[in-house]
Structure 1
Amino acid sequence: MPLRSASEFPITPDPEALEGTYQDCRAALVSANRSRGVLKAQSDRRGVVITELQRELVELEADLADEGRAKARLHALNAKLGSVIRELEETGDAMVGLIDESERQSGFWLVEMFRRLIEQATRWRTVKAKAAALAAEAVEETNPSDQLGGQP
């Protein structure tokens, strides 16, 4: 039954038509209540969908925040590794330069060259230790369960 407006019903019905008017009013009310129930059910379903979408948005936001933090850590680690690699290259170049120069020298100067070469070799080992520490740090960051004492 289509919905009917209250204005379709007489304000003061004829006494002879009272029973029929009452039945029409009641039928219109039942129809309106059914329609209202259907609309409420649809609204409730939309509310559930909206709540689920909001939950998914919160999860997505958290995932994006985690990804952002991971990218920032990787960028910082890359910067550290870049400086270590540059220092290794500089040390290696200095060692090669000292070896080349020592080949042209003799006597006291040769001893001085070897002393400087040993200094560069010590520097090389220190920088290698830094690189190893950075690599270990990177492994720890990719395996957070190990930091918490978890089993692999």
Structure 2
Amino acid sequence: MWLLSRLLVILFILFTPFSAFAVNPDEVLTDPALEARARTLSAELRCMVCQNQSIDDSNAELAKDLRLLVRERIKDGDSDEEVLDYIVSRYGEFVLLKPRFNPKTVLLWGAPVLLVLAGGLSLLVFARKRAGKPTGSKLTAEEQARLNELLKK
């Protein structure tokens, strides 16, 4: 039993995903408030190489360059929105992990709502059609006579 518990602990440690932040110590800003802003913005930006990671988590060279660019813009006094606008102007909307709501992305944001409404409407139509149909088979003459006899009592 003791050996089994040790083995389970070792397996748990080996298979536990470790958070590997890619921010190097030389990239970190000295002001903790500015660094917190930079980390928040980096978490919102997609690595163009990895595509399903933020630049905060990616080890790619392009992600490092984007992290440095974010920190440089923050040090220059840009607001968070100005930093994001600058990076989007250079790399396009795809660089944002959470796309903005605008006329180009209306379908992207509206599709889940439309799909839920269409599914609900389909279920409603299906349930109404099914409710009007009788279930089972018709009674035979003997069964109907027996039912009538029971109902008279």
Kindly indicate which of the two structures has a greater share of residues assigned to helix: 1
- The structure with the larger Rg is 1
**Is the TM value for this pair above 0.5?**
no
Q: Which has the higher contact order (CA 8 A, sep 6+)?
A: 1
Q: TM-score, normalised by structure 1?
A: 0.30
